[in-house]
Structure 1
Amino acid sequence: MEIIDKNLLDTVSAAAKSSERLRMNHNFHETLEAPCQRMLNALEPGTFVPIHRHRHTAETYILLRGKLKIFFYNEEKVIIEEDVLDQSHGCYGVHIPAGIWHSMEVLESGTIIFETKDGPYTPITEQDILK
């Protein structure tokens, strides 16, 4: 059992702030082969998330704190939609179907999402990054 409380969020945020990538996961799944990947993802402004897709799984983000802009793209790298996840404006999360090109911009320090997707973990390949 693990409680998701302010202390855990603060710990994961501190790790993200000190990380070279300016983000840090805290996994709840026990192995990378687990059929459901569940994690906290702490993100800091300036972290780089390339335009990418997950061909084998949908993913869902629920905003726990902070503010995040999500971008969706077509094959020509044109933004087709953008949304801001911001609890103060009633936007709490997003579900991204498999195969959809997306990226994000972190708008507030201390941003944390709960993220879930189908496992096992599959690293993003070059053909899943839109250049």
Structure 2
Amino acid sequence: MKFDKDFLGKLFEQATMNPKLRQCLDLRTSEADISQRMLIALLPGTVVPIHCHEETTESVICLCGKLDIVIYEEVAAYENAASDTMPMGMDAQYVTRKVEYREVQRIHICPAEAKYGCQIPKGAWHTVEVIEPSVIFEAKDGAYKGL
């Protein structure tokens, strides 16, 4: 299998047909292969929820296009169900823990600008923002669970 302009064009075509505006091609050679190696065509407007991989780093290399990898830190916030202020001694039954994410780093990737990819640290919360149609090669440890 070779990855040329026609091949990537077909991957983009499949992404346009997918309601998620992306298409993943699993590059494993067998089900016994527990690594993850894939090509992913991403179109502007695709929504990749903020997520993390607790057990592995993630390597991302962009073959074409332009996108940002956005790294976040998790911030716990607490809400009072009764009001915006939380008086001393408030019973815990009225408090809700809410997880929020604060952007801490934005990694711009664009091969035309000689910015080819990045390595996302294990446990880092992240997402991708697609600026123009892009194809990335993504690799990480562990069995592929689908996109």
TM-score (norm 1): 0.86
Q: What RMSD over aligned residues (CA atoms) do the two structures have, in Å?
A: 1.6
Gaps of 5+ in 1: 125-131
Instruction: Report the CA distance between 1:119 and its aligned residue.
Output: 2.0
Letter in 2 for 1:118: D
Distance change (3 Å), C-alpha of 1:66 and 1:123: closer
Provide the residue aligned with 2:123 in structure 1.
Answer: 99
Provide the residue aligned with 1:112 in structure 2.
Answer: 135
State how many pairs are aligned: 122
Which secondary structure does the structure 1 equivalent of 2:108 belong to? Answer: strand
Distance change (3 Å), C-alpha of 1:55 and 1:32: farther
Instruction: Tell me the distance in 2 between the aligned counterparts of 1:20 and 1:123.
Output: 15
- Runs of 4+ displaced beyond 2 Å: 30-33, 121-124
Q: Identity over the aligned pairs, expressed in percent? A: 39
Instruction: Report the CA distance between 1:6 and its aligned residue.
Output: 1.1
Instruction: Report the CA distance between 1:45 and its aligned residue.
Output: 0.4
Checking the alignment, whether the CA contact within 8 Å between 1:45 and 1:107 is kept in structure 2 is yes
Bigger relative CO (Cα 8 Å, ≥ 6 apart)? 2
Instruction: Report the CA distance between 1:32 and its aligned residue.
Output: 5.0
Provide the residue aligned with 1:127 in structure 2.
Answer: none
CA offsets 1:25-76 (integer angstroms, 9 cap, x no match): 1111034552321110000000001110011111111000000111000112
Provide the residue aligned with 2:111 in structure 1.
Answer: 87
Instruction: Tell me the distance in 1 between the aligned counterparts of 2:119 and 2:44.
Output: 22
**Mapping for residues 11-90 of structure 1, pairs under 5 Å:** 11-31=10-30, 33-76=32-75, 77-90=101-114
